[in-house]
Structure 1
Amino acid sequence: MKKLVLFLLLLSATVIVHGQQKNLSMLDAMANVRTTLAPQSLRGLQFLYGKEDYVYIKPLNNEMAWFTGNAGKKEDQLFLTLKQLNQKLRVAQQDTLAAMPAIQFNKGKEWIFAVNGKQLAYNPSANTFTTLMDRSLAGKDKAERSVAGYTAYLENYNLFVNDGQTAKQVTNDGTANVVYASSVHRDEFGISKGTFWSNNGKQLAFYRMDQSMVADYPIIDWTSRPAKNINIKYPMAGDKSHEVTVGVYNAQTQNVVYLKTGEPAEQYLTNIAWSPDDKYVYIAVLNRGQNHMELKQFDAQTGNYIKTLFEERDAKYVEPLVPVKFLKNDPQQFIWQSNRDGWNHLYLYSANGKLIKQLTKGNWEVLEVKGFDTSGDNLFYVSTEESPITRNLYVLNIRSGKSKRITTGTAVHNTEVSSSGNTVLDRFSTTKNPGTIDLVEVKTGQRKQLLQAADPLKNYALGESSIFTIKGKSGDDLYCNLFKPTHLDSTKKHPVIVYWYGGSHAQLILDQWNGGAGNYWFQYLAEQGFVVLVMDTRGSDNRGKAFEQSMFRKVGDVQMEDMMTAVDYLKRLPYTDEKNMGLFGWSFGGFNTVDFMLNHPDVFKAAVAGGAVTNWNFYEVMYTERYMDTPQENPEGYAATNLTNQIQKLKGKLLLIHGLQDNVVLQQNTVELVKKAVDNNIQVDYMIYPGHEHNVLGKDRTHLYQKVTDYFMQNLK
């Protein structure tokens, strides 16, 4: 449900306390937050591959130039100017550039950048250029180049591979119904692409998705005259799903085999990985019921199934998200991520599927594996060990199993590790710190500060905000962020707005500048006199398996219970007006909002639900069946969460918002709800955003937030 999560990630906010003179405008809150009101940073900051030196880009004499530094240098030095780069290009008889391009210095020995549509690689040692992809190839759909110089791409629905001189058509039956080399399974299970080059770059694993059996769903293009229908394939819960297979193309022999993944055809093929010697392909095969995963090994030459290395079962669901990662210094061992003990952790396996040991353990989550150091003995990973609302980098010794924390302080750290593993670029912020960038030596812990961002809101009169927890009825700590009105008068009652999401793969509350949000809207509301509460209910991410799985088979119930806990807290505050409270959520949060308004109709006076699922029968197979099972297996759960049939319980004001081209949460959800409201003489408000899918972006986003703000101003003040 990544596309659902995108909207709320742009909303979550935590802002610091100030007492200056200016007030935020809506333009400040929604647009200037990315420009004049964004914290300072170092653009393009990265390591030079194979070195401990870092580079970044900044203005010099009215144009951009690259600068470099390291732990031993007090002052950074000029590294590369546009004039110098163009001189190198002229000597190589390449096109020159009018502006400094974005350059990848950390992916290998060569610098990678684009020149007039071409992708070039510059070798600084040999002072030579190589064309990785010419303009025609770089512009192809799904173009991906291997280390051996082959480029895979899509054209007219079919997969092609170009060796640098000629193109080989790998498939011939591609259509709108038979999709090649593209993300499958609606981007669930960590899937984001459809091609997977082998380590030596000479073999390509690729997805083939037959969706001919999935019903067409109409999305209307309103820009033409007359409007025209564009069909998409959208497998709804309980209905026929698509069928996926995995092919392997050998670029040297030009042979194609399909892995014998077997029956049933409706299964999920996820987390594709190659063995270090490129002889085998590993796939996490998940049944449609999503409660049984088998890690399977296949022969890349013949497609034959070799064996199942191990299985994972769960009474509710299994959700594999990350492929196997073989050790850098031992091709006979790999690391697997699993939440089988209740928390996502790292497990060390032998190549034959035998568990060697659990590498990390505790009531916290491993969020990301960064990679190995030069020796391969040490692995870097990011976790929530300190707190669910922080992010820290650790290094783990594979042999001893001992971990060492690299980053310091209560904060959210975003890190890059040098190719040697000796040095770390540490970007971090907190609710009181807009941003710091340090260079950290792993062994000694010594730090060199590269940047301390100034406070972009120092001249604004902001209300006080604080992160805290409240105890839910389940006994869980529920994280909240409270924004008090600017110049709060605690003797007066202030209207309240609560924002939430409450679904999986999303977390709103972080100890980070502005909570990682893309806007200052919550603080803007506080300036208008609102008390604003943001909260993470059960069902949210990074709190362990039980916390997320609590909503299994009847989504919304635990979220509503936790919201009532938050409401009780708000009512106890002396400065909140419990008669004038509003609720807002998008996507899963939109569902929760409507659900709460119908089942607790006397709590919130007004609510806004954007892109809301209102009937889980209308949502996609992969996500819905994970948390709800199928409608056939769980008719009571689907009936209880069919909000359309409960609209007659609505008492407060409700504004529904939907993107007119939404292909994630289909507009049929809210259209059906409105129709039932009309049938029952229930008044609801409705707003559409033509040209937008699930997320309202660009300049229209400011319009959206003005609409929501006006709705609460009209109904709560």
Structure 2
Amino acid sequence: MKKLLLLLLLGSTYAYGQRSFTIEETVFGPSKFSPKNLYGQQWIKGEDALSHLDGSYQNLIIRKLKDNWQDKQLISVGDLQTALTATIPDEQFALRTFPTQYQWIDSNTLSFVAAGQKNSYGVSYDVTKKNIKINSIIPTTAANPEYSTSNTHTAYLIDNNIEITTATGNKIQVTKDTVDGIVNGSDNTHRQEFGIKKGMWWSPDSHKLLYYKKDETMVSKYPLPQWDTRVASIKNLRYPMAGMKSEEVTLNIFNTQTGQYVTLQTGAPKEQYLTMVTWDPNNEYIYVGVLNRGQDHLKLNKYNATTGAFVKTLFEEKSNSWVEPQHPLIFTSNTKQFLHQTDKDGYNQLYLYDTEGNLVRNLGYKDVIVIDFQGFDNKGTKAYYIGATNNGMERHLFEVELKSGKTIQLTKINGTHNASVSDNGNFILDQYSNLSTPNHIQIINKKDNKAISILTAENPFVDQIDLPKIEFKSFISPDGKTPLNARITYPTNFDASKKYPVMLYLYGGSHAQLVTDRWLGGVGYFDMYMAQNGYLVFTLDNRGSDARGRDFTRITHRNLGEAEMADQIVGIDYLKSLPYVDSDNLGIFGWSYGGYMTTSLMTKHNDIFKAAVAGGPVMDWKYYEAMYGERYMDTPQENPEGYKKTSLLNKASKLNGHLLIIHGAQDPVVVQQHSMDFVEQCIKAGKQVDYFLYPTHEHNVGGRDRIHMYDKIAKYFDLHLKK
């Protein structure tokens, strides 16, 4: 048995109730049994005050320091409805709840989007006067709205083209492309890798719109059969597989005052990735992270916003594995300095640069990984962020002084914190949970660290559900030094003198973490359902998964699945050593990358599991898209041995045990060809495999069909693992 750090028990939780979950509650349970919460929490600018929605979602509540943070009703949904009707009488609004996505513009004005029958409206609401100002009018057919800084213009997409409307309803047609494969302003550029969440950016003065223009006419069309007509039809998806021709992207600027267009001179080669797109606060420059297709060389380039001309490369990052930019630059109040996030020194942290590319200061703190940047204090001297700590198990709020780099951890209680600091930097709004705490919200005075609780949620399962016991475990990976986090969910009414079948649930891929110190330890409702039905459920986050730093992730380069499987086997060996585990009846379940891991273990380590379910599984990385696949595997031309080793198509003959493959017929992420080719290889090898298709679903099975899916999985394990 491999060396392991045995049984680091971080916590456990019990609750006693009357029944187990139903199969329907594996899908709808999270909303039915969610702990009590306060939604729409926000600090109000310029005041020692915050707001949130009440429990009915009908009213906006305000809490002020001068009132000892007691709750008072500020605005009702009826107030908004009245103001909207008075301002836009020819439109019909039906606000069922107070808008959860409202934003405070100043201490007296908030903004939100109101959907009418004819159009959607971006509006500002004056809290004192209780009146509405229209900032934008957006067609109901529009997508991806982007509001200018001054709220005078709104850009949005109609199909693959960009339009702009003014507050008075005037329209400006920015692009008029009709060629199939030319896409403007879309957040689905570079397949949303590299932290891309938008495809349009307004200049700070609201005069210019910067946007992606994607040319994918040269990218292969991948056919997705549609079954909704008597004769099936084909929907074509532009899908650049690893090593094949990829899209070509430019960044363009439209000037709303002159009507002129400028293209940033990002240069050749055309197949590169344009990331980290950021406007200079003074409207003079645009900063772009230019990443080569090999994804191992990043240049942060500066461009003239008037001419589009290249100005200079501020700095470069290179790696023998990959560079993965995920965040735009964040300018400080000193407009000649910005924060850049990178894991180049081991952990994703903040670095302060000037606009000439000189490193001013490393603002990183120990091995803390920056997860979510929270902004600056009103003086611009301190920055705040949520950071991952305790080997990725916890999330805490940190404060760092830009001038000195001095860093303070502001939240202390173990668990997962989502916290923010008031405008003046004096108070912390802290919401957290941990394994035994469903939800707690408090206001902390930074000066004396005294806290006032404004919500303590009770366990929502008490007197209703027999909740399984959940424990955290820690192991050491086969490298002899790297801690691995894991979680066990025990069968209800667990008896150590009995033997139980196991369902191992895993993902294992990048940008995902399943085990954290939060309510229930991150256990899913299907996991608890299986535990209530007599299974011991086990999950381990292997190397390659998220929130553990550069080296933890890069171990998988050019060889996906190998280190991950080695780590999972550490956990499996531990399970097999337990007297109450039925080692002859082990099952494994995973989706997407987890489906790949599941099938890998069923073929490469085929003497462990008796039954398995692989959902939407990658079977051969040459069929996967270039942006993700080439980051980890390089191209098939560059890494033929790696692709051969990690492919499961040539290992179907080694399949042992019962394997159920589930796939969505409309999957645009892991196309169905993966599983179909594997099934074909199983047929040729004389191996039996079970296969189930969800005809109308994409990469995930949603809605009520998900109940059907979980029922199928549970029954499959019952059939093969229960004696």
Matched with 1:78 is 73
Alignment of structure 1 residues 423-502 onto 2, 5 Å: 423-459=427-463, 460-474=465-479, 475-502=481-508
Unaligned runs of 5+ in 2: 1-10
Structure 1 residues 695 and 254: CA distance shift in structure 2, 3 A: same
C-alpha distance after superposition, 1:417-439 (max 9, x if no partner)? 33333333211101101110112
Q: Which amino acid aligns with 1:452?
A: T
Instruction: Tell which deviates more after alignment, 433-442 or 177-186.
Output: 433-442
Q: Which residue of 2 aligns with 1:287?
A: 292
Q: Which amino acid aligns with 2:668?
A: N
What letter corresponds to residue 164 of structure 2 in structure 1? V
Q: Deviations over 1:127-178 (max 9, x none)?
A: 5422122252x54122222123112122352222223443222223343311
Q: Following the alignment from structure 1 to structure 2, what is the Cα–Cα distance between the partners of residues 504 and 608?
A: 20
Measure how far apart 1:318 and its partner are: 0.4
Counterpart residue type for residue 76 of structure 2: T
Q: How many residues get paired?
A: 698
8 Å contact from structure 1 (residues 189, 319) kept in 2: yes
Q: 1:159 aligns with which of 132, 157, 162?
A: 162
State the AA in 2 paired with 1:570: L
Contact kept in structure 2, 1:15 and 1:523, CA below 8 Å? no
Identify if the C-alpha distance between structure 1 residues 527 and 104 changes in structure 2 by more than 3 Å, giving closer, same or farther. closer
- Residue number among 523, 529, 532 corresponding to 2:528 in the alignment: 523
Which deviates more from structure 2 when the two are superposed, residues 619-628 or residues 384-393? 384-393
Structure-1 residue corresponding to 2:143: 141
SS of the equivalent of 1:303 reads coil
Counterparts of 1:245 and 1:421 in 2: how far apart (Å)?
A: 40
Structure 2 residue 548 is matched with structure 1 residue 543 = yes
Identical-pair percentage: 38
Q: The residue matched to 1:384 in structure 2 has which SS?
A: strand
Greater CA drift, 625-634 or 75-84: 75-84
What's the counterpart of residue 379 of structure 1? 383
2:121 and 2:138 in contact (8 A); partners too: yes
* TM-score, with structure 2 as normaliser: 0.93
In the other structure, the counterpart of 1:51 is 47
CA offset digits 1:206-230 (Å, max 9, x no partner):
0001001101001122112222101
SS in 1 for 2:214: strand
Residues 664, 287 of structure 1: alpha-carbon distance in 2 compared, 3 angstrom cutoff: same
TM superposition shift of 1:202? 1.3
d(CA) in 2 for partners of 1:631, 1:607? 29
In 2: Cα distance, 1:478 partner to 1:504 partner? 15
The corresponding residue for 1:42 is 38
Change in CA separation of 1:97 and 1:500 when aligned onto 2, cut-off 3 Å = closer
- Out of 121, 129, 132, the position equivalent to 1:129 is 132
SS in 2 for 1:612: coil
Distance 1:141 1:276, change over 3 A: same
Q: Which runs of 5+ in 1 are unaligned?
A: 1-13
- CA deviation after TM superposition for structure 1 residue 577, in Å: 0.7
Which residue of 1 is the match for residue 219 of structure 2? Answer: 214
Q: Does 1:66 align with 2:60?
A: yes
Q: Kindly report which structure 2 residues correspond to 1:533-612, keeping only aligned pairs within 5 A, or say none.
A: 533-612=538-617
CA contact (8 A) 2:141 2:158 kept: no
Q: CA deviation at 1:70?
A: 2.6
* Alpha-carbon shift at residue 612 of structure 1 (Å): 0.4
Alpha-carbon distance, 1:67 to partner? 2.0
User: Which residue of structure 2 lines up, in the alignment, with residue 3 of structure 1?
Assistant: none
CA distance in 2, matches of 1:42, 1:202: 37
Q: 1:194 aligns with which of 185, 194, 199?
A: 199
AA partner of residue 111 (structure 1)? L
Q: Give the secondary structure class of the aligned counterpart of 1:353.
A: coil
Residue number in structure 1 paired with 2:122? 119
Distance 1:597 1:80, change over 3 A: same
Residues 220-246 of structure 1, C-alpha deviations (whole Å, 9 max, x = no match): 221122221010100000001110000
**Which one-letter code corresponds to 1:58 in the other structure?**
D
Q: Shift of the alpha carbon at 1:91?
A: 5.0
Change (3 A) 1:150 1:88: closer
Q: Say yes or no: does 1:23 pair with 2:26.
A: no
Within 1, Cα distance between the matches of 2:101 and 2:507? 36
Task: Say if 1:514 and 1:520, in contact at 8 Å, map to a contact too.
Answer: no
Deviation at 1:402, TM superposition (A): 0.8
Aligned AA (1:480):
A
SS class of match (1:639): helix
Mapping of residues 240-279 of structure 1, within 5 Å: 240-279=245-284
User: TM-score scaled by structure 1?
Assistant: 0.94
1:103, 1:112 within 8 Å by CA — same for their partners in 2? no
Query: Structure 2 CA distance, aligned partners of 1:433 and 1:603?
Result: 36
Of residues 176, 179, 185 in structure 2, which corresponds to 1:175?
179
Q: Which secondary structure does the structure 2 equivalent of 1:608 belong to?
A: strand
Q: Residue 332 in 1 paired to residue 336 in 2? A: yes
Whether 2:96 is the aligned partner of 1:102: answer no
Q: In 2, Cα distance between the equivalents of 1:648 and 1:168? A: 60
Preserved CA contact (<8 Å) 1:282 1:298:
yes
RCO higher in structure (CA 8 A, sep ≥6): 1
CA gap of 1:67–1:542, structure 2 versus 1, over 3 A, is: same
Aligned residue in 2 for 1:421: 425
Residue type at the aligned position of 1:532: V
Range with greater deviation from structure 2 (420-429 or 618-627): 420-429
**Partner amino acid for 1:19?**
Y
Q: 2:471 & 2:436 partners in 1: Cα distance?
A: 10
Moved more, 175-184 or 297-306: 175-184
**For 2:631 and 2:682, how far apart are their aligned partners in 1?**
30
- CA distance, structure 2, for counterparts of residue 392 and residue 317 of structure 1: 28
Q: How far off its partner does 1:22 sit?
A: 2.1
Supply the distance in 2 between the matched residues of 1:533 and 1:160 (Cα, whole angstroms). 50
Q: Deviation at 1:414?
A: 1.2
Q: What secondary structure sits across from 2:67 in the alignment?
A: coil
Aligned-pair distance for 1:332? 1.1
Which of residues 515, 519, 539 in structure 2 aligns to 1:513?
A: 519
